[in-house]
Amino acid sequence: MADAEVIAVGSELLTPQKLDTNSLYLTDQLNALGVEVVRKTVVGDERERLTDSILGALARSQILVLTGGLGPTEDDLTRDAVASALGRTLVFQQDICDQIEERFRKFQRKMVEINRRQAYIVEGAEVLGNDRGTAPGQWITHNNAVLMLLPGPPNELKAMFEKQCLPRLAKLLPAQVIHSLMLRVVGMPESDLDQLISPVYMRYPNLATTILAVSGEIHIHLRARSADAKQAEALVAEVASQIEPLIGDRIYSRNGDSLEQVVGNLLRARGAHLSVAESATAGLLGGRITAVQGSSDYFLGGFITYTNALKTKLLGVPEAMLAEHGAVSEPVAKAMAEGARDRTGAEYALSITGYADGDEAGLVYMGLATPRGSEARRTQFPGGRERVRAFSTNIALDILRRHLLATDTHG
């Protein structure tokens, strides 16, 4: 079994503000290949310490992932440090330089001289193309070890790792199959969920179970590893069949789809459309729904009514209702959703009105207007402004998901 180390490069990662989060993604990916991450290091933009860290890691582990330090500036030293640790030279590659220049041209900009630095490759390295940025990655084999040099920005790193490192690693590592399943759950706290399902998964020490709270949702990862694909799959199925009935319809996805994707697919299947009316979240719900490519199939638009005056003017919420019940109330949530539905022509509309801070922070009402009337739900979230707003969009989407599931596709 191969061990891996991750070295995150960048002085900003040694400040009191920044954490290396790329290593979490890399650990997850490597674990899925049966590789354990045995050490993580963060080192600054300093040639000697970086070289020293690389040498140390190579002395211990077979897989070394370096993230960051591939940019065009003077303090991007990963290329140099790796070359120096391996006793190899850096080689300028004109074709890479041309590609970087081409990328600049495409965006109507001129490549500046320092970007040439990114065209230097450690002697003998395979180049890992970067379709999301200018910094190419590098794949280097050295004695019995392999080094991956990946860019720091998470979106560039993830695309490169998945498209180019995973296939190479799969060839390198002993044939092992990992079968995994992710259940995504909304609407219950992590500790409650764990108490519910731990009696099941504790009985299966040969299956890795991870429970992860992610901005108000929970992801349950079940992962079995075996030389025999059927065996791995059967073990995951056995455990899932016991866990799923305990959580029921709070599981919204079994295939990795996000809540907004699931809701979008339900709407699309029904040929239905959605609009929104947002107060406390002021656009976050619309922004999240449209994070899905193709969301214009079902999402029309909506209203951001941060003031009471706009709730009345744009959505027709009666002034008297606002005066009597307050903007954060069940009748106003319903009236907002109804107003958005009427004014956009969508079959469904969601609304959110609540307090993100202040004395009543966390009190939020979500409304849903449908062809058959409207409803509203009251919730009280823990946590600060950002958390309350993010969690509110979860619950709003979940209300619509449950409503759509309860109504027939043809209804």
99: which 2 tokens? 């590609």
Closest CB to a copy of itself among residues 25, 402: 25
> Which listed residue (87, 94, 95, 106) binds a copy of itself by CB under 8 A?
106
**Nearest residue to 279 via CA among 311, 301, 309:** 311
> Which listed residue (142, 270, 385, 402) binds a copy of itself by CB under 8 A?
385
Q: CB-based contacts of 234: which residues, under 8 Å, 6+ apart?
A: none
Matching residue, tokens 């609304």: 351
d(CA 317, CA 188): 32
Contacting a copy of itself within 228-267 (CB under 8 A):
none
Verify binding: residue 409, a copy of itself, rule CB under 8 A.
no
Q: Measured from the CB of residue 124, what is the shortest distance to a copy of itself in angstroms?
A: 27
Q: CB-based contacts of 308: which residues, under 8 Å, 6+ apart?
A: 319, 322, 327
Contacting a copy of itself within 293-322 (CB under 8 A):
293, 295-296, 299-307, 309-310, 313-314
d(CA 59, CA 97): 33
Q: Measured from the CB of residue 242, what is the shortest distance to a copy of itself in angstroms?
A: 17
Closest CB to a copy of itself among residues 140, 152: 152
Contacting a copy of itself within 158-187 (CB under 8 A):
none
The single-letter code of the amino acid at 108 is Q
Closest CB to a copy of itself among residues 318, 384: 384
Verify binding: residue 281, a copy of itself, rule CB under 8 A.
yes
Matching residue, tokens 């731990």: 198
* Alpha-carbon radius of gyration of the chain: 26
Torsion sign across C-alpha atoms 238, 242, 245, 246: negative
Closest CB to a copy of itself among residues 141, 195: 195
Verify binding: residue 402, a copy of itself, rule CB under 8 A.
no
* Region from 34-42, 83-91, 330-338, 366-374 binding a copy of itself, contact rule CB under 8 A: 34-42
Closest CB to a copy of itself among residues 144, 293: 293
d(CA 224, CA 272): 39
Q: Measured from the CB of residue 256, what is the shortest distance to a copy of itself in angstroms?
A: 10
Closest CB to a copy of itself among residues 143, 293: 293
Q: What is the per-residue DSSP string for 307-335?
A: SHHHHHHHH---HHHHHHH-SSSHHHHHH
Verify binding: residue 359, a copy of itself, rule CB under 8 A.
no
# of chain residues touching a copy of itself (CB under 8 A) = 109
**DSSP-derived pairing of the beta strands 90-92 and 126-128:** unpaired
250: which 2 tokens? 């709070």
d(CA 375, CA 369): 7
d(CA 375, CA 368): 5
Verify binding: residue 199, a copy of itself, rule CB under 8 A.
no
Question: SS3 for 217?
Answer: strand
* Region from 49-57, 82-90, 91-99, 331-339 binding a copy of itself, contact rule CB under 8 A: 49-57
* Region from 87-95, 276-284, 330-338, 398-406 binding a copy of itself, contact rule CB under 8 A: 276-284
d(CA 238, CA 242): 7
Q: Measured from the CB of residue 295, what is the shortest distance to a copy of itself in angstroms?
A: 8
Contacting a copy of itself within 61-90 (CB under 8 A):
71-75
Verify binding: residue 213, a copy of itself, rule CB under 8 A.
yes
Closest CB to a copy of itself among residues 309, 323: 309
d(CA 120, CA 81): 12
Verify binding: residue 381, a copy of itself, rule CB under 8 A.
yes
Contacting a copy of itself within 14-33 (CB under 8 A):
14-17, 19-21, 24-25, 27-28, 31
